[in-house]
Structure 1
């Protein structure tokens, strides 16, 4: 008979796995003893009452409690079981617990038949006759309990395994293990917030039930829950193995007890041997290898930090029997890699929701937090950043404290981290090599959140070997890399700060690193620097942000002595002219967003990295030798001349003096042979570049953008390693230098808005160049013929070169060219060799009016517009822009079908009246068609079936759009200011067709068209600037696909917007303001509109229909406390000011799409 379990079993706290109920004189020293040992060996925590308990006539409270706190009651029915009133009372209690607490009852019929127990026959009947003769009043309860128990499925020993006791016991143990499996999992996972999904991933890695021997590693930062996860997995599956051991704190115990002792503990546990002695590691290894090789074991090695520990505890798979699983937890990923652990799982921190749930368990126990603690709880969640250890420690500390004490502790955390948290985290640091400790402290104090490549360059300047050092810190879970930036958990960073403070006995002047604005200001203003200081990073903007945050959050304390009232002007720092003199070991100095009152007379000679935004001096100090200087970044400085004469700076690789508006000339660079990057962007007074720059053999980047008074460059350059040259905006620069030698490493050349009238023929020596940008070079008259020999050139931009009338005839020799941009130029002819450009993807000739005019003058018959002699060779072309090229009917419009890869076509601003049916319909890959401003176009041509976007705004002659309803993938249609369109029924048909397409393509949709009618399909309507949706219960389901909007308006200024999902688009934000059942309100936003160029609509009624997938609105809200089904109302509106006349909206479900 299947037992019915109660849901309360999942919340009841069990102390024992099994309670043994039996008649002592029948089976205690035989069957029960053997069964008890077998259960214990499998790690099944079993309660067996001792002989001295069964002396009274009633069950003791301790025994009652043992029954109540056991998951399973194992009842051994023997011949004399019913003779004992004690046993019968136990049985009644057990059956009560089964019915109340969901306890599992497993009967074993040792030497009696189940029917004898059920019907109280034979010895059971005799026992009841005796009890009845003595006038016992419990007979009815006993009979009911016996009958219920005998009807349960269990083990009938005489009919099981041929009554072989050993086999029967093995079968019973296996049955108990099976019943415990699910129970343990549910109970242990009950309060493990955020662990369930992680457990499932590790279970999958373990492959329980399959053969072979598998090692699985779990790594992550201290306090993230590695041990907890391994423990609950161990508890859930250990019973499925022949032997199991969870070896806690291997790192700490190996230091204190020695590895041989850990070998003893491991083997004793798995082999169930008491008083095992191992004399040395070699003996322990041999015993591991020989005693476990045929045994299916589960072994957890917790907090391993050295390969030696694995070598003696779990060296090889061959040490263990088939089906064995070894789980290793560590902070060091590389340790797992080095040991050939095949499957590795990285622990994640908790989400904000999970963090709040865990924190509440410790801070409020079973009590729900009151509203007054919500803000402070949120601050703790932000501070702990998902680290379970910190949440538990702080939650426990704050439990039972009042609001004032909470505020005090939260404020104190900003200055002093909790000691218990630091003690747990610090071993991660102490286990590092000395040089890696320096890298860690530098990152903690200066570089968290910075780009990895930039940080690597800085650390390389200190000779710290950062490539391997950063990798080590990642492997040891001290840092992570995300989107190319180095990130460090806030509490790990605070540990680093704490270490720096502790080493200096909390005296800022003795800190090795200064990073707090108040400490730096204090030390510099009072000339209190010492030789201990190695690095300083001052950023006053961060300090101002912190002050503003404190004021907003009402976090003031009695420690604050004053606050500047005008925060935006607090940028001055008093610095003594000799403040840096005592800092003889200073290697890193960064000052930003701070006005320094005095110029430094002395800078330490040990400086490797100097970055001073707004450097106050006219030049570097004369005494500064800079022998170790690698990087010099003095943006927005007052520098006039960096140094006079020649200065030997052999280590210098990087100079950036951008926006130094007083800089007149560059210094002599002959003493900086290793310079790799020279950035002088927007040095508006710069008139001269020293000729020595042309000899910098290692220069990779030369950036002189917007140096508007720069008139000359060195006459020749031989920068053999130069990769990028930027002269954009140097509007007085007329002559490009001759290129003396091959510069095949130059890949990008930016010459926009310069005064060059030509490029030298030696440009062909830039044989590796990939990008040349000459846009807005208004004096440029021609390109050198040698440019066609640049075999690797991919992008050529000559747009807005107002004197450029032709392109090289042999243009087709640019075999790698992918992008050719000639917008708004007087080019009169496209060379016929363009058809040879097999790799050309983008061709833009927008507003090239002379192309059309040339055609008119060169042919006698009526103009056919722009003509290409052959388009068939442009097999890779995906984008063609010939808008505003005075194209009339015929010409190129007849040849477009020869472009098989074309995906985007702009024909806007031209004067044709129609497009031949075969021309565009044959472009099977065309997705976007631009026809904006085609004022003579009367009807749409036949379009490809796969078309997605049509933009035909300001097509004032357009009268019909009925043919657009047949394109299943159309999702954006813009027809603003097409005032001859009046067919509202056709809009309904178009919208229905677009909705059908959602079943295949889950995209956004939009139609903009003249008119003022909201289709009947929209269920919520309102005249005005918003619309309200009243929500049904459980409105948010898996079948909700999105939100549809209809807005009638008279005026709108369109602008490019970006919301993280759409490309920059022509549209505006729509907000959903929601209200929950308990009065909470919030706002979420998305963008609706039409992709295209800028335009505006004024004094003309238009209707915009749009659909937005639900994920666009709701995905950013998934981590909030309230789910969308807690909402009772939504108000849709826009924050953009426009004259909206009416709104309509509808929730779009799957059925709406199917029925469209």
Structure 2
């Protein structure tokens, strides 16, 4: 409570003479009233000329009206026993007249309507200088509508605080006894930080035995305490009908699902999700976390209870079904009714259920059906024509029921189905926008599209038996995505397909038998993404002048030569001196495994940002890529003949050259990028254990930090000293040598899949000339299961903390596909300006006492041997005198001559000759 009270006090700012209105918002039971009351009680009378606490504004105004609250307000502040107000407007006038010159503190608790604020504290000028109006509510939109000065968002309790509160109620002590500790932690976990739940459950469990605690825990998971749910349901009861529907759908079906998916489904049901979801967030009923929507566990249980109460004993009469037992009951007993609106069953593994498919006959109001890994053993006779959204992963039938044609259906997703043909003839699905039948290996032909004129996405990826595309595809004027990836038996497409003027994304990857001409694709004027990888490209019969809107192009694996010209199949791409009318918008180009040599690479692509040249026959980097002014990412993986990387484009941010086994030299002076992956490049540096050049790169990067901050931002006091917008330093190389100056090094605990290192921070570190952290890990891949589908991942999480709080500064993951032949080093730098981006006040950050670096290894065969972290200060960089300089007459390539010698000299001087300093520093 103390930290929350301090934070709220900073919002109230009693030193200011301005009139401030401050809101406290959060879900029911989160502790808004408690913190408001605590602040009210902490304020001494001499700070204000009067103060008033209006409790339960929502409840009081609904019973006694706003006049009674106006009377209470004036009576408490003026210390008069009875203030008589005749009507609301008389009360507003009296408040303005009597309090206009008084410095007052007013708390209005549990406000739920804007009208209440307008009649009790309409404007700031109603009150004297220095007055403070504190408003608690569940509705953030209400606070914004009234124009409050700041909003404090009430937070749940952490586990330690939760355990203390539970203990006070259940044991009348600050800590549970040893035998109750495990059960107490389970209760705290169940409450998930909600103070109301901890108070109610703690009071209920007071004096109970261990067995009674266990029984109570089991019961509350099935039937949460009524007082808790009743408090939470107040917010739900105030919603519009469509908002209630959205809330219940999220609670029952879509918690922690992607926001875009939820909006799409809710929109198909005419629930107006954009405004509805905004209302639910404002009223603290749901939260938006990244791109997903979620809610508190107890709010979800409230939603479940609301649905169960629709029919306590018969699931077939409820609006929503989401539990396997209830769905099994409905489909085996054929007890479904038209009350059922949505069914979602997501099984982790495929399960064959002897379900009665005739049960669908009674579900004629079903608007939402999602089955994942559910098989039916009988024939499907009926699907509701009221369906808006249909997803059936592994749909087990050959086609849809003959009577199925929904005029409201927006999406069909039956990937991995057993369907041979979706429907025969013309079926009316006028609102259908998405049809996904990917990986349906029995599908032989597409349906007639004349009944789906508004289709926007058609996904047929992995339909390996598909060989016929209906001619009607040409009528889909709104189609923007068409995916035929790996349709290996597809030999031709209707000519009408090339008339799809709105098409933006076309994927023909792996259609090895498909006969097409580039000039036909050129007619698709809106095309932005084109994947022709692993296809046979015929030489264009005319010069290509369009593709002006194309942004992404993949030609990976296209290796056939054109015998009549001797040129590569890539001859249609622009080369030096050619017209640049075509491909002028291209930002991503994949030319991997095309058998290219240095002279057969496009010479100028003005917008290109990412280029993949992996698996080609280069001995050195094609000179033409220096003419790509916006190139940032370059992939050269598996270029077995590549020997040197010189004169790299200055604008590169990331270079990956994994498994370039002939690579010997790297021009560090032209290398401006600070993100580099050179795994399995064993000739680089002379031997497998030698990775000193990485630390030379690090010194160069950190010297650039000082140059950046001092030159670019020294004149601007508005920019934080630690601000640095450059790309992050992140390098992977062969080797296992870590300098001794690395201040914190730890051996990996082999029995665990994770291990961590904690660093104690000195007092006042945030104000020192500390600039960041360097982190490393030494790892190898051994005895990997080559049949495994999954990549190997090495993840790192960095947290800043003290004994009361912790916040994540950074998390990153290194994914590995290649087998590693020896030890490798992953080294990266975390800038201090990361502290400026987290949602914690700088005053709070100053109380940090530790940094924790945690590595976790995921995947069989990945072994981490050692890891560590080093704190970097400005003086470390300033004293690092061996800055990488690049005189023109000196060999500055890694792998040869004077530069390599200088690295070895630096290492001897740093490790062998220097005395141990009080604080480890970078090599000098």
Pick the TM interval, shorter chain: 0.7 to 0.9
Trace 1:1051-1090 onto structure 2 (pairs within 5 A).
none
User: What is the CA-CA distance between 1:791 and the residue it aligns to?
Assistant: 2.4
CA RMSD of aligned residues (A): 4.8
Cα deviation code 1:309-358 (max 9, x no counterpart): 22321122232223222221111222223323343333222333433343
CA distance in 2, matches of 1:435, 1:1045: 52
User: Counterpart in 1 of 2:650?
Assistant: 923
Q: Do the aligned partners of 1:1055 and 1:1065 also contact (CA within 8 Å) in 2? A: no
User: What is the CA-CA distance between 1:878 and the residue it aligns to?
Assistant: 4.5
Match of 1:358 among 165, 171, 181: 165
CA distance in 1, matches of 2:335, 2:624: 79
Cα deviation code 1:204-254 (max 9, x no counterpart): 443432233332222111001111122222233463222211111011112
Q: Do the aligned partners of 2:470 and 2:494 also contact (CA within 8 Å) in 1? A: yes
Distance 1:244 1:513, change over 3 A: same
- State the structure with more CA Rg: 1
Match of 2:22 among 194, 216, 221: 216
Q: Do the aligned partners of 1:694 and 1:714 also contact (CA within 8 Å) in 2? A: no
CA distance in 2, matches of 1:526, 1:1032: 57
User: What is the CA-CA distance between 1:300 and the residue it aligns to?
Assistant: 1.2
Bigger proportion of residues as helix? 1
User: What is the CA-CA distance between 1:364 and the residue it aligns to?
Assistant: 3.4
Cα deviation code 1:975-1002 (max 9, x no counterpart): 52569549x8x86686477468568598
> How many positions carry a matched residue from both structures?
819
Distance 1:735 1:949, change over 3 A: same
* Counterpart check, 1:267 vs 2:74: yes
User: What is the CA-CA distance between 1:593 and the residue it aligns to?
Assistant: 3.9
Distance 1:736 1:410, change over 3 A: same
Trace 1:385-424 onto structure 2 (pairs within 5 A).
385-424=192-231
User: Counterpart in 1 of 2:906?
Assistant: none
Distance 1:1054 1:731, change over 3 A: closer
User: What is the CA-CA distance between 1:784 and the residue it aligns to?
Assistant: 6.6
Match of 1:1148 among 867, 870, 889: 870
Distance 1:835 1:381, change over 3 A: farther
Distance 1:580 1:1070, change over 3 A: closer
CA distance in 1, matches of 2:830, 2:642: 41
CA distance in 1, matches of 2:426, 2:174: 71
User: What is the CA-CA distance between 1:679 and the residue it aligns to?
Assistant: 1.8
Q: Do the aligned partners of 2:743 and 2:920 also contact (CA within 8 Å) in 1? A: no
Distance 1:745 1:205, change over 3 A: farther
Match of 1:714 among 450, 470, 482: 470
Q: Do the aligned partners of 1:996 and 1:1154 also contact (CA within 8 Å) in 2? A: no
* Counterpart check, 1:943 vs 2:649: no
* Counterpart check, 1:336 vs 2:80: no
* Counterpart check, 1:790 vs 2:523: no
CA distance in 1, matches of 2:355, 2:866: 63
Distance 1:481 1:1094, change over 3 A: same
User: Counterpart in 1 of 2:240?
Assistant: 433
User: Counterpart in 1 of 2:395?
Assistant: 637
User: Counterpart in 2 of 1:119?
Assistant: none
User: What is the CA-CA distance between 1:519 and the residue it aligns to?
Assistant: 3.3
Secondary structure class of the residue paired with 2:106? strand
Q: Do the aligned partners of 1:714 and 1:737 also contact (CA within 8 Å) in 2? A: yes
* Counterpart check, 1:724 vs 2:481: yes
Distance 1:421 1:880, change over 3 A: closer
Q: Do the aligned partners of 1:448 and 1:486 also contact (CA within 8 Å) in 2? A: yes
Distance 1:727 1:927, change over 3 A: closer
Trace 1:715-794 onto structure 2 (pairs within 5 A).
715=471, 717-739=474-496, 743-754=500-511, 755-759=513-517, 761-777=519-535, 779-783=536-540, 785=542, 788-794=545-551
Match of 1:378 among 182, 185, 194: 185
CA distance in 2, matches of 1:346, 1:1135: 40
User: Counterpart in 2 of 1:117?
Assistant: none
CA distance in 2, matches of 1:932, 1:585: 58
Distance 1:494 1:1152, change over 3 A: same
Distance 1:977 1:359, change over 3 A: farther
Secondary structure class of the residue paired with 1:245? strand
User: Counterpart in 2 of 1:87?
Assistant: none
User: What is the CA-CA distance between 1:766 and the residue it aligns to?
Assistant: 2.1
CA distance in 1, matches of 2:442, 2:367: 31
User: Counterpart in 2 of 1:681?
Assistant: 438
Distance 1:379 1:289, change over 3 A: same
Q: Do the aligned partners of 1:1026 and 1:1132 also contact (CA within 8 Å) in 2? A: no
CA distance in 2, matches of 1:989, 1:642: 63
* Counterpart check, 1:705 vs 2:411: no
Secondary structure class of the residue paired with 2:647? helix
Q: Any unmatched runs of 5+ in structure 2?
A: 706-723, 799-809, 841-847, 873-918
CA distance in 2, matches of 1:1022, 1:245: 58
Distance 1:704 1:666, change over 3 A: farther
User: Counterpart in 2 of 1:653?
Assistant: 410
Q: Do the aligned partners of 1:681 and 1:704 also contact (CA within 8 Å) in 2? A: yes
Secondary structure class of the residue paired with 2:110? strand
CA distance in 1, matches of 2:242, 2:588: 51
Match of 2:131 among 320, 324, 347: 324
* Counterpart check, 1:232 vs 2:33: no
Cα deviation code 1:174-212 (max 9, x no counterpart): xxxxxxxxxxxxxxxxxx2xx62x444444443432233
CA distance in 1, matches of 2:565, 2:103: 78
CA distance in 2, matches of 1:462, 1:896: 51
Q: Do the aligned partners of 2:548 and 2:585 also contact (CA within 8 Å) in 1? A: no
Q: Do the aligned partners of 2:746 and 2:757 also contact (CA within 8 Å) in 1? A: no
CA distance in 2, matches of 1:900, 1:1043: 32
CA distance in 2, matches of 1:493, 1:370: 31
User: What is the CA-CA distance between 1:630 and the residue it aligns to?
Assistant: 2.8
User: What is the CA-CA distance between 1:795 and the residue it aligns to?
Assistant: 1.3
Q: Do the aligned partners of 2:12 and 2:22 also contact (CA within 8 Å) in 1? A: yes
Match of 1:250 among 51, 57, 70: 57
Distance 1:233 1:315, change over 3 A: same
Secondary structure class of the residue paired with 1:678? strand
* Counterpart check, 1:309 vs 2:31: no
Cα deviation code 1:567-607 (max 9, x no counterpart): x79x455545654555565544544444445x4xxxxxxxx
Deviates more, 1:718-727 or 1:467-476: 467-476
Match of 2:682 among 966, 972, 976: 976
Secondary structure class of the residue paired with 1:329? strand
Secondary structure class of the residue paired with 2:920? helix
User: What is the CA-CA distance between 1:271 and the residue it aligns to?
Assistant: 1.6
TM-score, normalising length from structure 1? 0.62
User: Counterpart in 2 of 1:455?
Assistant: 262
CA distance in 1, matches of 2:854, 2:445: 63
CA distance in 1, matches of 2:605, 2:363: 65
CA distance in 1, matches of 2:114, 2:255: 30
Secondary structure class of the residue paired with 1:1152? coil
Q: Do the aligned partners of 1:758 and 1:782 also contact (CA within 8 Å) in 2? A: no
Secondary structure class of the residue paired with 1:446? helix
* Counterpart check, 1:800 vs 2:554: no
Secondary structure class of the residue paired with 1:269? helix
User: Counterpart in 2 of 1:663?
Assistant: 420
Deviates more, 1:997-1006 or 1:349-358: 997-1006
Distance 1:244 1:498, change over 3 A: same
